[in-house]
Amino acid sequence: GNYLSRPCAAPPVARGVGFVGRAAVHIPNRSMHAHFSIALVLSFSAVTAGWGTGMPRQGSRLARHGVSVRMDGTYAPAAANEIPTSNAVNDPRPKKVLVLGGDGFCGWPTSLHLSEQGHDVIIVDNLSRRNIDTELGVSSLTPIATPQVRVEAWKEVSGKDVRFINMDLAKDYDLFLQLLKQEQPDSIVHFAEQRAAPYSMKSSRHKRYTIDNNVGATHNVLAAIVESGLDIHLVHLGTMGVYGYGNSGGEIPEGYIDVILPGGREKRILHPAYPGSIYHTTKCLDALLFQFYVQNDGVRVTDLHQGIVWGTNTEQTSRDERLVNRFDYDGDYGTVLNRFLMQGALGIPLTVYGTGGQTRALIHVSDTCRCIELAVNNPPKSGSPVEILNQVAETACVRDLAQLVSDKTGTPLQFVTNPRKEAAENPLDVANQKFKLLGLDPILLDSAEGLLEEVESITKKYKDRCDVKAVVSKSYWNRDRAAAAAEKTDEVKLSVKA
C-alpha cells in the first residue's frame, strides 16, 4: 500500500520551531513533472550505456523502472500499477558468505543475522574503522569488544561459528584471491569501504585515502571473482547519495531510467550520478565497475542503494554485552538521527546544519540486516544486468527529525553553519518496491517509539564515554564552508546534562 507523503516542515522563524513531517517512501500515485539536465543524462549514458540493446516499445517494459525521460527534458513516473522489473531468482538455501567489512556498524550485526539464519559466515576486515577511531581521538560510545572476543561470544550464545580474518582488501589482492579459491563462497557481502562523507572531505589526504581504499577494494573483489573462476554473487552496500538530492525532479527509481535518444531510439541507462562528496563519488565509481564486470565477465552483482542508518543493536547483538554494536556520535561518523538521539539524551543542543531542510532517506539497522538477507537469498540470474534496489524505509526532513527528538527530550535545537556544500532545502521521493515485493515490512519512525528509546537508553548508559568536543563536524567541503564556519566560532555551546 501507499504511505502518506508530507512536505518538510517550513524553516523555523525562531530556533526550535517546527513540526514533525515525514514523507514516507511509496509507490507513485500522482502525476509529477520536472526537468533533468538532458545533456548530463545523455553524457552519462554514453559512459554507462547500461545494457546497450534497443528497448521494446511502450506497452511492454519501457517504463517499469520508474521513469521515462524524453529529449524535451520532461520526466514522469511509471504508472502506479506497473511492477518493477527484477532479474532475481529465489534461492533460500544456506550459503557460505564472506562479509567484507564485517566488523563495522552495519557489517557486524549483518554477520550475526546471516549466521542466525543458517548461513556459514566468514568476516574479512582490516579493522580500519578502529584505526580511524585512534586517528580522530574518539571511540564508539558503546564499548566494543575485539573481533576475536565477539565471535567467541557469538559461539557461546548461539552455538554457531563465525570466523574472522584480518585482511586489507585494497592491498592484499593475492591473499584475497587465495581465500576465494580455498573457501569457494556462494556470496560476498561488501561493506569494506570508508563510509563517512565528512571524513572523506577532511583533507586531500583523506580524499585520496577514500578513493584508493574504496575503489581499490571494490575492483580487487571483482577482479578476484573473475580470476577465481567461481560463480560468486556479490552484494554491495551502496548509498542513496549516488542519485544526489533533489536532482531527479520526481520519484527516484531503482537504479535505471529509460531515455529517448535522437531519432526515437529507446535506451535504459543508469540514473545520472550526482555525488555530494568524495565518499559518494566512490560509490558512483563502484557502480561503473559493476556495469563493466557484469557485461564483460558475467559477474552476478546486486547493488543496494541504502539510506542513512539509525539505531544501534539488533536482536542478535542484544544477547550479550560482548556482542554490542558500535555507536558513532562524532561529527564525522555519527549518522544524523543517532547523533540527535545522543545529544537529546545527554542534554546537548541538537546541532542542525543550515536550515535543516535537507530531506534524507532512513532505515533502521535491523532492516539493513533483513535487506542483506533478502539480497543474498534472491541473487540475479546468470547473464542479468546489475540488480539495483533502493534500501530505504522512509524519508524525513532533518529539522523535523531534530524537532521529534527535541519534543521527546526537551533539548533545544541549535542551527549552525552547514559544513557541507549542498542545497539548503530539497525534496526526496524514493521508490523501494523491489524490497517490498521480496517481503520487507520496514520499521517506520511512527511505530518505532521503543527503538528510539533503546538508542536513548544506550546513550545514557555510556554517557561518561562521550567527548562533547567531538560532536560537531570539523570537516568542511571547501574553503568557503570553512570560512563561513569561522565567522561564527561561538555559535555551538556544548555541555552534558548531569
- Residues annotated as catalytic (active site), given as ranges: 239, 279, 283
What is 110-161 written as a DSSP string? HHHHHHHTT-EEEEEE--HHHHHHHHHT---SS-PPPHHHHHHHHHHHHS--
Select from 26, 204, 189 the least CA-distant residue to 100: 189
d(CA 28, CA 46): 29
Q: Buried b / exposed e across 200-214, counting CB within 10 Å, b at 16+? A: bbbeeebbebbbebb
What is the longest distance spanned by two Cα atoms in the chain?
69
d(CA 496, CA 498): 6
Q: Buried b / exposed e across 394-432, counting CB within 10 Å, b at 16+? A: bbbbbbbbbbbbbebbebebbbbbbbbebbebbbbbbbb
Cell of 105: 556498524
R_g (Cα) of the chain, nearest Å: 22
Q: With H, G, I as helix, E, B as strand and everything else as coil, classify residue 265.
A: strand
What is the phi/psi pair of residue 451, to 5°?
-70, -35
First-to-final CA distance of the chain? 45
d(CA 295, CA 367): 30
Select from 252, 258, 257, 307 the least CA-distant residue to 32: 252
